[in-house]
Amino acid sequence: MTDPELKTLNVGEGSDARDIAVLRRPGHGPGLIWLGGFKSDMAGSKAEALDRWAGEYGYGCTRFDYSGHGRSGGTFLDGSISRWLEEALAVIGNLTSGPSILIGSSMGGWIALLAAQALRQAGEADRLAGMILIAPAFDMTEELMWNRFDDQARADLMDKGAFSRPSDYDDEPYILTRLLIEDGRNHLLGAGPVETGCPVHILQGMQDPDVPWHHATGLMERLAHDDAVLTLIADGDHRLARPADIDRLIRAVEGLIARYKAKER
């Protein structure tokens, strides 16, 4: 099994241009596209496991780092949902082809849903063979951040433009910006139906302190137009990176691929 190829994709213009690092494994379709989480990168255990599986069975697999993350250029404090969505769509549009399965983890789940919406609006709904959402943190800037902040945190954010809070996943604290929160409001899915146009499988831990399991069940209620499945893992945390969790993820991928192939027969 060969290693995936490292590519650099330039996104944005002028002073906003940044180089996005992409690991691309060629193969047959439907290909896998990994969309990582907030402050995560494409070298995480779930992304690596998906790439190994794709290489073993000959499927294409594409993963990348958002600007300000991992190997990509740009500054994290300049990050926003608009910016990271732009990068995801650029990778999908320029470095992948044919039907693909979007696999979004945490914030990547929100990016996946927004990318599906953008592809549908562009008349490219057939690019999606399916979607797997792992602890999908849709509308996170409002529902999982702003609405949870105390008065002091909100005041710091508005007056100083940013504030930091400890992270359970990094030695360094997260710095959350006013830009991130205010830009996120332009991308809220709201309370109405959510339509992706493809099968969706959600994996959600019930011991997740960051994305509560009822956040995922709320999304399920709104996926009325899609063939959607929710798997709740009773002892699962936010990462869902244990061997058993990764096995569940691989089985979900295999299930969507089987359904896609059956539909194409």
Q: Residue 254 is part of which domain span? A: 5-138+195-259
Give the pair of three-digit tokens for residue 109.
Answer: 């789940």
Q: What is the mean pLDDT of residues 236-244?
A: 97
Q: Strands (DSSP E) along 214-254, which ranges?
A: 228-233
Residue 185 inside a domain? The answer is: no
Q: What is the pTM of this model?
A: 0.96
Q: Tell me the average pLDDT of the chain.
A: 95
Residue 90 inside a domain? The answer is: yes
Report the distance separating Cα 39 and Cα 192, nearest Å.
29
pLDDT at residue number 176: 94
Residue 174 inside a domain? The answer is: no
Residue 126 inside a domain? The answer is: yes
Query: What's the domain count of the chain?
Result: 1
Report the distance separating Cα 129 and Cα 196, nearest Å.
10
Report the distance separating Cα 30 and Cα 261, nearest Å.
9
Confidence of residue 231 (pLDDT cuts 50, 70, 90): very high
Q: What is the CATH number of the domain that holds 202?
A: 3.40.50.1820
Residue 99 inside a domain? The answer is: yes
pLDDT over threshold 80, residue 24: yes
User: What single-letter DSSP state applies at residue 146?
Assistant: G
Q: How many residues appear in the chain?
A: 265
- Per residue in 77-133, pLDDT (tens digit) is 999 999 999 999 999 999 999 999 999 999 999 999 999 999 999 999 999 999 999
- Per residue in 149-179, pLDDT (tens digit) is 999 999 999 999 998 887 777 777 888 999 9
Q: Residue 88: which residues within 8 A CB-CB, separation 6 or more? A: 35, 64, 66, 111, 115
